[in-house]
Structure 1
Amino acid sequence: MFLAFDFGHKRIGVAVGDTLTGTARALPALRSSTQPDWPGIERLLTQWRPEALIVGLPLDEDGGEQDITTLARQFAEQLRRRSGLCVHLADERYSSRAADDALRDARASGRMKRRVRKGDRDGEAARVILEQWLAEQSIR
């Protein structure tokens, strides 16, 4: 079992998944306005008992770092120290675009009956990040 985080200035998307199925599902996003919701993260760690954590690393299209890349690295390091678990960084380029596409498809097909909420995109992006990471692990 793994937990993935899509770090953002306002919210942190979260997803859970495993290597058995190679799939993940989005969980409700956590707030992140002034600092991460550590009590919320600790509840997730207790509930899911992951073997490792994955944090999306926001890079620009050319693979260069942005201002938020540094913040995501700091979040990953804090997560490692607080949880005592191994934290993997995963390239998250295009995950938000893939999340938007998946949410749009879910609404159009009727799988998602309600309107898309702000945190939905963040959780869906975390799901994309985790499934890509799981796929890379199965190749190795």
Structure 2
Amino acid sequence: MGNGVLRQASPLAVISSIGNDVRFAEIGALIKQWEPTLFVVGLPMHPDGTPHEMTARCRKFANQLNGRFNLPVVLVDERYSSAVISAKRGDVIDDRAASIILQQYFDEYVPSN
């Protein structure tokens, strides 16, 4: 989650449910609680910027978010977000990587006041 006024991102939750219906229900509950104005989705690519299988999956997920919740979605290059964090695996790296992706959005796309 992030604060657009302060331009600060912080980890909120990791949604690891299996199955789209449960996953989107959990996202819906977070939307109801936090009332976001947009989604920021990381867009993975090869180091040279070319797309791969996960690129298409993330674009599909972004389209589903927009379609289900009628909020704008911004795709942000996530090639190096996980590299910023230690080589740990699991939820800890997932929520921090997501926070880094959101912070990158604030730093690159949101004008400072």
1:71-114, CA deviations, whole angstroms, 9 ceiling, x for partnerless residues? Answer: 0000000000001000011101110111337xxxxxxxxxxxxx
Partner of 1:57: 43
Distance in 2 between residues matched to 1:32 and 1:72, nearest whole Å: 16
Distance in 2 between residues matched to 1:61 and 1:32, nearest whole Å: 29
Q: Secondary structure at the match of 1:37?
A: helix
Question: How many residues are treated as equivalent by the alignment?
Answer: 111
With normalisation by structure 2, the TM-score equals 0.88
Runs in 1 of length 4+ with deviation above 3 angstroms?
32-36
Partner of 2:28: 42
Partner of 1:100: 86
Runs of 5+ unmatched residues, structure 2? none
The match for 1:71 among 57, 62, 65 is 57
State whether structure 2 residue 97 is matched by structure 1 residue 125.
yes
Contact in 2 for aligned 1:28/1:120 (Cα 8 Å): no
State, as a whole percentage, how many aligned pairs show the same letter: 35
Distance in 1 between residues matched to 2:3 and 2:84, nearest whole Å: 20
Shift of 1:128: 0.2
Distance in 1 between residues matched to 2:86 and 2:92, nearest whole Å: 9
> Structure 1 pair 97/33, CA: closer, same or farther in 2 (3 Å)?
farther
1:6-62, CA deviations, whole angstroms, 9 ceiling, x for partnerless residues? Answer: xxxxxxxxxx00222111111221115444711110011111101111100001100
State whether structure 2 residue 109 is matched by structure 1 residue 137.
yes
With normalisation by structure 1, the TM-score equals 0.72
The match for 1:29 among 14, 38, 44 is 14
Runs of 5+ unmatched residues, structure 1? 1-15, 102-115
Which amino acid is 1:128 matched to? I
